[in-house]
Amino acid sequence: MSAVDATKAPSPRAGAGDSVHACPACGSGSLSVFHEQRAIPVHSCRLVDTREEALAFPRGDLRLAFCADCGFIANTAYEPERQDYGVAYEETQGFSPLFRDFARRLALRWIERYDLRDKDVLEIGCGKGEFLTLMCELGQNRGIGIDPAFVEERLESEAAGRMRFFAELYSEEHADLPADAVVCRHTLEHIDRVAEFMALIRGTIGDRLDTVVLFDLPDVVRVLREPAFWDVYYEHCSYFSPGSLARLFRRTGFDVLALDRDYDDQYIVLEARPNGAGAHAPLLLEETPEELGRDVREFAQAFARSTAEWRSLLGGARGDGRRVAIWGAGSKGVAFLTTLAGGDEVAYAVDINPYKQGKFLAGTGHEVLAPDALPAAPPDLVVAMNDVYVGEIRARLDALGLADTELISV
């Protein structure tokens, strides 16, 4: 989930309602700001050891701008030099059985659809290497992973001997690495110069036109419509819809083979091959920039309404003397609490990832507890930071003897 090696060119900047010089996806001048948040944590997945460090965590601004020409949405206040995706970056969702099932299904789908057996698979932004491991185990493939957050000690697999990892950012230096498939999952949203990034991938593939390129990443359509303000945060500097993602791929030299939504329609899954010759008709899932623009225009009112409702709910719970916890100590949890200025209303965060337990949330200072710690300070209300995990969470609460705990989700 880590970024590409940034270029030295300055990022675009704009004030509210202004246009910036060029869209990072299509180069047009039709980028205008529609949403701002000030002083939010510049990281939400970094492990923070003390409450004091968490409260003093560096902050930056969020200034979302929409491109009327291609539909891309960017944080024009983003400063890539403030990001650090080293080993303290704890991004994995792999401790959830539900997420592991999804990852396995996706790996099998790609292996079967593109005959990825006994092949070379390159993953850009591989995190801790979990998905690449699946691709290598299930398809008897050879794997190369690139990510500064990779931790060798956490790799346990019978395929380890067929895998290599580079704990660094992806760059031109990796052009000679063999790849029958290039995988990039939940990384593009962390890249500010998205056209340059895709052009870099296309350039490193060169004339190997049989190489399949496999991406998945969050869908901004859901974020705008819900509105899922907990999915808007500093690390995500780039926001894609199915249409804007497909247009970026075609513009940078790829043929889009398939475009779908998955994981309860939270993720876009795109499959492509290098080519880019000739015109290509839009796929069924692609919306136009004009259609997405309607969602953008409605976002401000929906955001204000949703945040007001959540503040009222949490304030009411505190007024009733109820202990509230959030379940999910990652980016969604940090964005949820930061946006609502959640303090006394929420007692602590819960996470099943053992590497997060005992740490503190950047910006708010909430301690992260293991589920097994809850009976000692039982919550009256748990807010799940992702609706897809409600079943898992309910089962865990019941197993802990907390069947009376109310469970809701964002």
CATH fold for domain 316-409: Rossmann fold (3.40.50)
- What phi and psi values does residue 350 have, to the nearest 5 degrees? -125, 140
So what's the pLDDT on residue 6? 37
Given pLDDT bands bounded at 50, 70 and 90, which one contains residue 3? very low
So what's the pLDDT on residue 93? 87
Peptide bond into 227 cis (omega under 30): yes
Residue 403 has pLDDT above 60, yes or no: yes
Q: What is the pLDDT of residues 57-77, one digit of tens each?
A: 999 999 999 999 999 999 999
- What phi and psi values does residue 243 have, to the nearest 5 degrees? -65, -45
So what's the pLDDT on residue 279? 55
Q: What is the token pair recorded at 143?
A: 């794997």
Given pLDDT bands bounded at 50, 70 and 90, which one contains residue 14? very low
Q: What is the pLDDT of residues 332-354, one digit of tens each?
A: 999 999 999 877 899 999 999 99
pLDDT above 90 coverage of the chain, percent? 82
Total residues found in the chain within this entry: 410
**Helix ranges (DSSP H) in 92-144:** 97-113, 130-139
Report the alpha-carbon distance of residue 45 to residue 328 in Å, rounded. 11
**59-67 and 73-75 beta bridge pairing:** antiparallel
So what's the pLDDT on residue 156? 84
So what's the pLDDT on residue 281? 80
Report the alpha-carbon distance of residue 330 to residue 337 in Å, rounded. 11
Given pLDDT bands bounded at 50, 70 and 90, which one contains residue 12? very low
So what's the pLDDT on residue 181? 98
The DSSP result for 154-221, as a single string, is: G---TTGGGEEEE-S---GGGTTS--SEEEEES-GGG-SSHHHHHHHHHHHHTT-TT-EEEEEEE-HH
Strand partners, 261: 268
Report the alpha-carbon distance of residue 176 to residue 146 in Å, rounded. 13
Residue 376 has pLDDT above 60, yes or no: yes
Q: What is the pLDDT of residues 293-327, one digit of tens each?
A: 999 999 999 999 999 999 999 999 999 999 999 99
User: How much is the mean pLDDT over the chain?
Assistant: 91
So what's the pLDDT on residue 278? 52
Domain boundaries, the chain: 316-409
Given pLDDT bands bounded at 50, 70 and 90, which one contains residue 277? low
The larger pLDDT score, comparing residue 217 to residue 153, is at 217
User: Whole-model pTM?
Assistant: 0.92
Q: What is the pLDDT of residues 166-178, one digit of tens each?
A: 999 999 999 899 8
Q: What is the token pair recorded at 77?
A: 């206040």
So what's the pLDDT on residue 88? 66
Report the alpha-carbon distance of residue 41 to residue 49 in Å, rounded. 15
Q: What is the token pair recorded at 94?
A: 């792999």
Q: What is the token pair recorded at 208?
A: 């190997």
So what's the pLDDT on residue 211? 96
